[in-house]
A and B are shown apart, each in its own frame.
Chain A
Amino acid sequence: MGSQGGFGQSKEFLDLVKSIGEARSKSEEDRIILREIETLKRRIVEPDIPKRKMKEYIIRLVYVEMLGHDASFGYIHAVKMTHDDNLLLKRTGYLAVTLFLNEDHDLIILIVNTIQKDLKSDNYLVVCAALNAVCRLINEETIPAVLPQVVELLGHQKEAVRKKAIMALHRFYQKSPSSVSHLISNFRKKLCDNDPGVMGATLCPLFDLITIDVKSFKDLVVSFVSILKQVTERRLPKSYDYHQMPAPFIQIKLLKILALLGNGDKHASGQMYTVIGDLMRKCDASTNIGNAVLYECICCVSSIYPNTKLLEAAAEIISKFLKSDNHNLKYMGIDALGRLIKINPDVAEQHQLAVIDCLEDPDDTLKRKTFELLHKMTKSSNVEVIVNRMIDYMISVNDFHYKTEIASRCVELAEQYAPSNHWFILTMNKVFEHAGDLVDIKVAHNLMRLIAEGFGEDDDAADSQLRSSAVESYLRIVTEPKLPSAFLQVICWVLGEYGTADGNYSASYITGKICDVAEAYSSDETVKAYAITALMKIYAFEIAAGRKLDILTEFQSLIEELAASHSTDLQQRAYELQAVVCLDAHAVECIMPSDASCEDIEIDITLPFLNSYVQQSLQNGAQPYIPEDARTGALSVSSFSNQEHRETSSHGLKFEAYEMPKPPVPSRPPPVSISTDLVPVPEPSYSRETHVSPPVLSASSSGSSELKLRLDGVQKKWGRPTYSSSPTSSSGVSPSPANGASKVEPAAPSTSRPRETYKDSKKAEVDPEKQKLAASLFGGASKSEKRASSTSHKASKGSSHSTGTSSVSKSSVPSTSEVKSPPQPLPDLLDLGEPTVSTIVPSADPFMQLEGLLDHDESGSTGSNAALDSTAKVPDIVSLYSELQVSGHDSSSTISPLSSNGSNNKNLKRTVSGGSPQGMKGPNLKEALEKDALVRQMGVNPTTQNPNLFKDLFG
């Protein structure tokens, strides 16, 4: 009955497999499987099913689940099957439960008991099956239930059991290191097991243990070395040979362990040199596995304490890998090169052309690996070429995950090694243009900061030149369709801040552009907010400069539209803009000082200038302020009447009519106010109030109007020494005494010569394009060399080596110092993410600053500043104001910066997070499947005859 199909399975199952194979579409397949599930559901609960029939049902369930359908109704039957005495059924049951259940499933509890029993079984196959299930199904809580038995099995007579017991213990260690911490000595013991398979299996947990704690295993170095020696000398049984290699997998594992143990340990490394050297010499490089061992040797050599001989051998192997036609080997070669250049950056030079070939290879994996390598070997001399290449590739890539990665790499490299600010801005523009929605919004803020702060030196001319070039480039880019939101924000901000600064462009031209942006990206509120703030700045600068405003019609309509916007943030900005436009020059000058984005906004949350006023009010019988926490605390304990009393006295909902204003406030003699004429304030009493203590206020306002750059406490990462500096100087190159050149290009004079000769010799057969690229990528001083030769004498290249080098060294000195000097004083661009955010962001974020400045004049700066500073304080301020009986209008303007700031942040977040899922579109798999299904003729085969799987294997 069960063997009707001739496969030990029933005809039903055969038919199922066949019909699924013939299914023409995914939906047809789904229908078939759903029918099968119905059948199984019915059958599996029938009483008295023969055991072998049941076994088949379970296998069918596994099959159904592999095709992606829910088979949970049958889990319990699989669990039941593990109880069976019959080995075949038991194994099937275990197989099914390990595939069906995870370690936290409810049914596990039913299995633990069976596992315990089976671990004690006489039949070693039952034990093995149970151990297999242990690995998969035992979680942290159930480990103690089986641990004793598993430990016991370490001494089992069958090596297969010992092996699996070790693996099970390893699994326990991975799940809960503390549960087996007392058993670590067992792993050490098992290393001496007389079965090589057990020893090999022990290397897995030891590798994990050593990764975590190297020190306590240093004593094993000798053992590992001797094992490796024995393996390479073919002391293991022949059955461990693989493609004529003695136990290569064990060799690889040992090399990995030695790499960990020898890392930074001269003594331990010394013990390994001989065996690794022998291995590298003897290893057969004609097979894949031989190359795997060789690659592992290189990894090991580059990890342990450097040994010149081994490094040379490694470099030789790498060059073989790179020259190979096999893509796998090229890939490994690139990877190995990446490891080796950490120790010796010069290695890369001899392989420059091979690397460039890999860069142009059609294989994406190889290309990406090569970019990884380039990323590792970037220095300030080749950053331009590398980043440009990366950007080109980034534009061509569709995979969003990788696009994000490579974009962030470009940003990282550009921030770290940028030769000039101008280049940095251009590079950033490109990155933003093509991957703006994928990069962190902080990068945009950094860019704005850089443009605003410039070189951080007193070189105003250079700063303004930088800004004009930024403005110029943005005006060009802004007309392109579909720019990412983050980039538009930068563009709007820069145009608003510096668009009219150099006088090249009229205000109406710039505002026109900004209006276009706001119109074109009308669905993006953040961009619109940036745009409207930019417009406000431009008009403010115009008014302050005394020029007549040239209001465009599209501007008018934009403002009208935004004033009616659903977003309160946009509404507020629109109204503020309308208000600013109506002010006179002096007032505007104070609200919107030109080029003031780098100023600090000083915040004094204690509001000391109010002290005298509060004092006065208290004297006049006002209720003292109760902090909010005290208030709520009082509420919870006090009686109801008390509460009522408090409510009326402090703040809260009032059910009675408002009292008359207290007499002292309006009757106060108006103090000598310097700034009452700044803003036409509707309530004169209020403006007087805010200026009750002029000295304090003027101090804080002068602090904010003073032009002061926040550079203290900001680390300078620009132009920091690259990794290449220390290794080269240690490898015997004397650092050049020229200004800073030794730091950036230490190898310039010494390495240029061999490279030059190499190039000369190669010149004949290599594409000059490629060579140029190679030179710019690899040559420490090639750039300066090129410059020198093009500017001065071209003959220097062809001349004898001595003159060649001398001219190179001469020319490299000025150019490197030129490269070096600008980056040094640059402010740190990466610091925004650090805890200083709250203090730095206000000076970087144009919105916040704008709001701060506006409120500064309207409400005496302190309210808004306090609001900016901390959310928690705001309710207090509100209550304070309500105590002071300021009208609702004022208190709302106090909160506004915070609320707009909050919504703004939300917007930013949304735009950042919204970018990636949108683009997750790949080729349609279903279509592919349908198309492929059409091709199929019968069963699971694409053609009627069965193709031989192994034609490439065994000829």
Chain B
Amino acid sequence: MIKAVMVMNTQGKPRLAKFYDYQPVEKQQELIRSVFTVLSSRAENVSNFMEAESIFGPDSRLVYKHYATLYFVFVFDSSENELAMLDLIQVFVETLDKCFKNVCELDIVFNYSKMQTVLDEIIFGGQVLETSSTEVMKAVEEISKLEAASNAITLVPAKYASGWNRR
């Protein structure tokens, strides 16, 4: 089972924190901080796995991936495969990228709820629900379409986001 998904930037600011076992707010912050402390101390060319038992308790593993200014962190137990989790991060990021056309940290900050939607399509209640990024995209697009139809407010169109980037 997946215990937590975290996205934080290289300054340690959380961009997304989702715990599949309830954790109180203070505990969440503490976990994010301790994960960041370890992550920031790791060298560039080492493995993507990390000793997590001292932070998350027994039977927990941590896989992280570093993209530009962001760390994507998955915490899970022994029923998952570490390499596969690494690829699940890849799936998540690929999907975000398809969503936002060249995703960057800003997209994630301003489209917090969309990122949650994407994540919910991939991981559901701590289990891997869907691993095909096309399928996830399909679901997310459908949600956006229906949401748009049901309300005048649109989610941020990706082209504006990227346009803002270039400014």
Contacts and interface: CB of A to CB of B under 8 A. Distances in A.
Contact of A330 (B47, B139, B160): B47
A856 B156 CA distance: 86
Contacts, number: 246
Interface string A644-659: 0000000000000000
B104 A365 contact: no
A204 interface: yes
Interface in A295-338: 295-296, 327-328, 330-332
Interface string B34-63: 101100111101111111011000000000
Contact of B87 (A17, A200, A242): A242
Given A8-B156, A328-B48, A928-B12, 7 more contacts: A167-B125, A204-B128, A239-B132, A240-B131, A240-B135, A289-B83, A933-B11
A561 interface: no
A366 B47 contact: yes
Contact of A923 (B10, B41, B48): B41
Contact of A950 (B29, B81, B82, B102): B102
B103 interface: yes
Contact of A123 (B47, B130, B146): B146
A95 B147 CA distance: 14
Interface string B127-167: 11111101100010011001100111111100011001100
Interface of A: 2, 6-9, 14, 17, 20-21, 52, 55, 59, 62-63, 65-70, 86-89, 91-92, 95, 99, 102-103, 123, 125, 132, 135-136, 160, 163-164, 167-168, 170-171, 174, 197, 200-201, 204, 207-208, 211, 239-243, 247-250, 252, 256, 288-289, 291-292, 295-296, 327-328, 330-332, 362-366, 368, 399-402, 922-923, 925, 928-929, 932-933, 936, 939-942, 946-954
Given A6-B160, A242-B131, A95 B113 contact: yes
Contact of A951 (B46, B48, B68, B116): B68
B124 A164 contact: yes
Contact of A125 (B11, B41, B146, B153): B146
A211 B130 CA distance: 22
B142 A125 contact: yes
A950 B162 CA distance: 14
19 contacts: A17-B110, A21-B13, A59-B113, A70-B25, A95-B113, A125-B147, A171-B126, A207-B79, A242-B91, A288-B83, A288-B86, A401-B53, A402-B54, A940-B13, A942-B11, A948-B104, A950-B67, A950-B68, A950-B103
A330 B131 CA distance: 25
Contacts of B41: 923
Contact of B132 (A242, A332, A948): A242
Interface string B86-109: 111011011001000011111001
B131 to A, nearest CB: 4
Nearest to B144: A88
Contact of A942 (B10, B33, B150): B10
Nearest to B128: A249
Contacts of A52: 151-153
Given A87-B151, A239-B135, A328 B164 contact: no
What's the interface size class on B, roughly? 35 or more
Given A8-B155, A292-B84, A941 B106 contact: yes
Contacts of A168: 125
A289 B125 CA distance: 23
A949 B132 contact: no
A52 B153 CA distance: 7
Nearest to A3: B153
B46 A252 contact: no
Contacts of B68: 947-951
Given A87-B147, A366-B47, A163 B130 contact: yes
Contacts of A936: 11
B129 A163 contact: yes
A249 B84 CA distance: 7
B4 interface: no
A327 to B, nearest CB: 4
B84 A364 contact: no
